[in-house]
Structure 1
Amino acid sequence: MKKKLVSMLLCAAMAATLTAGCGSDSSGESGDKSSSSGESKEITFMAPDWANPGDELLAEFTEETGISVIFNEVSWDDIRDKVSIAASGGEAAADVIEVDWSWVGEMNSAGWLEPIEMTDEDKEDMPTLETFTIDGEILAVPYANDYRIAYYNKEHFEQAGITEVPETWDEVYDALKKIKEAGIVEYPYTMPMNADESATTSMMWMAFSRSGQVFNDDDTLNEEAVMDALTFENQLVQDGFVDPASISFNGMDCYRKITSGEASFMVGPTKFVGISNDPEQCSEIGNIVPILLPGTDGTSPQTMALPEAVGITSFSENKEAAQEFVKWYSSADVQKRMYAVNSSIPTRNSVLAEMVEDGTFENAGAMLDEADLIKSVFPNGVPSYYSEMSNTMYNNINQMVLGEQTPQEAFDAMNAKVNELIEKK
Structure 2
Amino acid sequence: MKRQIAGRLAIAGILTAGLLLSGCGNPAASSNSGGEEVGSADYWPAANGKLDGTKLTFWIGQSDNKMPLKVIADFEKETGAKIDLQTIPDSYENNVQTKITTGDMPDLATWEPTNSMLAGFVATGKLQKLDGAPWVKNYNPGIDKLGQTKGHRYAALVSPVNVMGVWYNKDVFKKAGITEDPKGWDGVVEAARKIKDTNAADSPFFEMGGSQWGTQWAVQVQLAEAAKDGLWDRVNTGKEKFTDDTILTAIKNYKSLLDQGLFNKDAGSATLDEQAEALYSGKTGMVFGNNAQFNVAAALAKNDKAKLDESLGFLPISKDGNISSLSPGASSAVVAFKTGDSKREAATRQFLNYWMSDGYKNFVNDRGLVSALKTVESPKNVPQALLDAASSLDESAPSMQSAAVANPDLYINLANMINGTETPEQVAKTTQDQFNQIAKAQGVSGF
- Compute the TM-score of the two structures, normalised by the length of structure 2: 0.72
Question: Per the alignment, do residues 86 and 394 of structure 1 end up closer, same or farther by CA in structure 2, a change over 3 Å counting?
Answer: closer
Residue of structure 1 in register with 2:152 after alignment: 137
SS of residue paired to 1:116 = coil
Query: Shift of residue 251 of structure 1?
Result: 3.8
Please give the residue correspondences for 1:84-99 in structure 2 after superposition, counting only pairs within 5 Å: 84-89=98-103, 91-92=104-105, 94-99=106-111
Q: In 2, distance between residues paired with 1:303 and 1:54?
A: 26
Q: In 2, distance between residues paired with 1:254 and 1:334?
A: 35
Deviates more, 1:151-160 or 1:102-111: 102-111
Query: Shift of residue 237 of structure 1?
Result: 0.8
Residue of structure 2 in register with 1:366 after alignment: 388
Query: Shift of residue 47 of structure 1?
Result: 1.6
Matched, 1:306 2:328: yes
- Which of 201, 205, 210 is 1:185 aligned to? 201
Residue of structure 1 in register with 2:57 after alignment: 44
Please give the residue correspondences for 1:208-223 in structure 2 after superposition, counting only pairs within 5 Å: 208=224, 212=228, 214-217=231-234, 219=236, 220=238, 221=241, 223=244
Residue of structure 1 in register with 2:250 after alignment: 229
Matched, 1:295 2:318: yes
CA deviation digits over 1:191-243, x for unaligned, max 9?
44347443345533342267646524351436333123211211111111111
Residue of structure 2 in register with 1:334 after alignment: 359
Select the structure with the greater relative contact order (CA < 8 A; seq sep ≥ 6): 2
Q: In 1, distance between residues paired with 2:209 and 2:92?
A: 25
Matched, 1:113 2:127: yes
Query: Shift of residue 176 of structure 1?
Result: 0.8
Deviates more, 1:271-280 or 1:409-418: 271-280
Query: Shift of residue 423 of structure 1?
Result: 4.2
- Which of 203, 222, 237 is 2:219 aligned to? 203
Contact 2:185 2:319 in 1 (8 A): yes
Question: Per the alignment, do residues 277 and 362 of structure 1 end up closer, same or farther by CA in structure 2, a change over 3 Å counting?
Answer: farther
Query: Shift of residue 170 of structure 1?
Result: 0.9
Q: Which amino acid aligns with 2:356?
A: S
Residue of structure 2 in register with 1:20 after alignment: none
Q: In 2, distance between residues paired with 1:239 and 1:368?
A: 32
CA deviation digits over 1:372-392, x for unaligned, max 9?
234433599553x43xx22xx
Deviates more, 1:58-67 or 1:238-247: 58-67
Residue of structure 2 in register with 1:155 after alignment: 171
Q: Which amino acid aligns with 2:219?
A: M
Consecutive unaligned residues in structure 2, runs of 5 or more: 1-49
Query: Shift of residue 396 of structure 1?
Result: 2.2
- Which of 162, 176, 179 is 2:192 aligned to? 176
Q: Which amino acid aligns with 1:312?
A: A
Q: In 2, distance between residues paired with 1:128 and 1:397?
A: 29
Q: In 1, distance between residues paired with 2:51 and 2:317?
A: 56
Q: Cα RMSD (Å) of the superposition?
A: 3.5
Contact 2:325 2:397 in 1 (8 A): yes
Question: Per the alignment, do residues 137 and 128 of structure 1 end up closer, same or farther by CA in structure 2, a change over 3 Å counting?
Answer: same
CA deviation digits over 1:238-277, x for unaligned, max 9?
1111113132234454244211211111232335279549
Contact 1:45 1:72 in 2 (8 A): yes
Q: In 2, distance between residues paired with 1:193 and 1:110?
A: 36
Q: Which amino acid aligns with 1:330?
A: M
The percent of aligned pairs where both chains have the same amino acid is 16
Contact 2:327 2:402 in 1 (8 A): no
Residue of structure 2 in register with 1:279 after alignment: 301
Matched, 1:72 2:98: no
Contact 2:76 2:82 in 1 (8 A): yes
Question: Per the alignment, do residues 175 and 411 of structure 1 end up closer, same or farther by CA in structure 2, a change over 3 Å counting?
Answer: same
Residue of structure 2 in register with 1:269 after alignment: 290
Question: Per the alignment, do residues 401 and 284 of structure 1 end up closer, same or farther by CA in structure 2, a change over 3 Å counting?
Answer: farther
Question: Per the alignment, do residues 204 and 259 of structure 1 end up closer, same or farther by CA in structure 2, a change over 3 Å counting?
Answer: same
Question: Per the alignment, do residues 315 and 409 of structure 1 end up closer, same or farther by CA in structure 2, a change over 3 Å counting?
Answer: same
Query: Shift of residue 155 of structure 1?
Result: 2.3
